[in-house]
Structure 1
Amino acid sequence: MIDDLIYFLRARYAEERQTAIERRMQNWQADVADVNAKQAVVDACERSTILAAGATRKITDMTAAGVAVPMVELIDAARLEGQATSLSHAVSLLAQPHARHPEYRQEWRPRG
């Protein structure tokens, strides 16, 4: 689900960048900088999600193999999962202005 939302937002931000540049608006550079800042959040979310999934997979593999999981591994996995969850929520909020776009999915709406 988050992968699809990340792809959706990347496509919208590419469109916004292009529109700002094509219009040759007086402050198009500020508009592009704003889009780039939002893209940085999307990129961080993707990285955190990948890292959290990797940590979870490592712990699962260790447990399945009967290997004791060090506490530091569990703490790191929990930290990464929390970070990924927070960033996923932020990305859901960034997608809200695009809620009327035909490719937007209701499942992407922020919870809470």
Structure 2
Amino acid sequence: MIDDLIHFLRARYAEERQTAMELRMQNWQAVVADVNAKQAIVDVCERATILAAGATRKITDMTTAGVTVPTAELVDAARLEGQATALSRALSVLAQPHARHPEYRQEWRPRR
């Protein structure tokens, strides 16, 4: 789900960036800068999600193999998972202005 949301947002930001530059809007540089800042958030979320998935997979593999998982690794994995969850919520909020787009999915709506 998060991969689809990231792909959706990247596509919308590419469209917004292109539209701003094509229309040669008076403030196109500000629009592009705003879009680039939002894109940076999407990139951070993607990296955090990948790291969290990797940590979870490592701990699951260790546990399955009967290896004792050190507390520090559990804490790190929980921290990464928390970051990924928080950033996922941020992506939902960033996608909200595009709710009327035909590719927008209702499961991306921010939860209260």
TM-score by length of 1: 0.99
Residues 25-46 of structure 1: CA deviation (Å, up to 9, x unaligned): 1110110000000001111110
Partner Cα separation in structure 2 for residue 110 and residue 35 of structure 1: 20
Residue of structure 2 equivalent to 1:51: 51
Question: Structure 1 residue 53: deviation in Å?
Answer: 0.3
Residue of structure 2 equivalent to 1:90: 90
Residue of structure 2 equivalent to 1:78: 78
Q: How many residues align?
A: 112
Tell me, what secondary structure is at the counterpart of 2:107? Answer: helix
Please tell me the root mean square deviation across aligned C-alpha atoms, in Å.
0.4
Query: Which ranges in structure 2 are unaligned for 5 or more consecutive residues?
Result: none
Partner Cα separation in structure 2 for residue 88 and residue 41 of structure 1: 10
Question: Structure 1 residue 93: deviation in Å?
Answer: 0.2
Residue of structure 2 equivalent to 1:100: 100
Give percent identity, aligned residues only.
85
Partner Cα separation in structure 2 for residue 63 and residue 35 of structure 1: 42
Residues 37-92 of structure 1: CA deviation (Å, up to 9, x unaligned): 00011111100000000000000000000111011100110000000000000000
Residue of structure 1 equivalent to 2:39: 39
Question: Structure 1 residue 20: deviation in Å?
Answer: 0.3
Residue of structure 1 equivalent to 2:5: 5
Residue of structure 1 equivalent to 2:29: 29
Partner Cα separation in structure 1 for residue 75 and residue 28 of structure 2: 44
Tell me, what secondary structure is at the counterpart of 1:69? Answer: coil
TM-score by length of 2: 0.99
